[in-house]
Amino acid sequence: MNLKLSGKHALVCGASQGIGRAAAIELALLGADVTLLARGSESLQRALDELPRVDAAQKHGFIAADMNQHTALRAQVEAVANASAVNILVNNSGGPPGGSAHAATLDDFRIAFNQHLIAAQIILQAVLPGMQASGYGRIINVISTSVKEPIRNLGVSNTIRGAVANWAKTLATELGSHGITVNNVLPGYT
């Protein structure tokens, strides 16, 4: 199997730590140009400094953006995607905080919905034109095993991540004929 990603551009969300950072490192090792996306510039710079380069032509960068600041998020992702089409998108975002679904406030649900589903839709719409133009795209959503079996005391997360899973399944059906695959990864406790 050829996993050479030289000449491909990957955008990895939640890339300053954890699963996102690990995914960014692996994509860079496979030769992709990687753009990291997370909130904190300092942690992003540290992650960027540690990204491997297996090819002198590789270009890595970052976007410091908050998934709940949609106007700025859209503008920043569009600017990067317009400069270099994104071929691989890794949607990955932490939270929301634990707690029961019945005790969660409407704001708890709105914030989580905005951070996970709405932000993912905004990013998708920013990168999709480049994927469609090239007839190639890979969208990977890092969600949770809670979409199969709810995890105790993660009521809002269970709900929101289920919505993201079904959004992704819908996209897979809609975009497959354009050479764009959409897959969900379901990690357990991290």
3-state secondary structure the chain: CCCCCCCCEEEEECCCCHHHHHHHHHHHHCCCEEEEEECCHHHHHHHHHHCCCCCCCCCCEEEECCCCCHHHHHHHHHHHHHHCCCCEEEEECCCCCCECCCCCCHHHHHHHHHHHHHHHHHHHHHHHHHHHHHCCEEEEEECCHHHCCCCCCEHHHHHHHHHHHHHHHHHHHHHHHHCEEEEEECCCCC
pLDDT interval class at 1 (50, 70, 90): low
CB 173 within 8 A of CB 131: no
pLDDT tens-digit map of 4-63: 999 999 999 999 999 999 999 999 999 999 999 999 999 999 999 999 999 999 999 999
* Burial class of 50 by CB neighbour count within 10 A (0 to 12, 13 to 18, 19+): exposed
pLDDT tens-digit map of 127-178: 999 999 999 999 999 999 999 999 999 999 999 999 999 999 999 999 999 9
Beta strands 88-92 and 61-64 are: unpaired
**Residue with token string 């317009």:** 82
Residue 190, pLDDT above cutoff 80: no
Is the domain covering 9-185 a CATH 3.40.50.720 domain? yes
**Is omega for the bond preceding 96 within 30 degrees of 0, making it cis?**
yes
The pTM assigned to this predicted structure is 0.96
Residue 2, pLDDT above cutoff 80: no
pLDDT tens-digit map of 107-137: 999 999 999 999 999 999 999 999 999 999 9
- Domain ranges in the chain? 9-185
Backbone angles phi, psi at 75, to 5 degrees: -60, -45
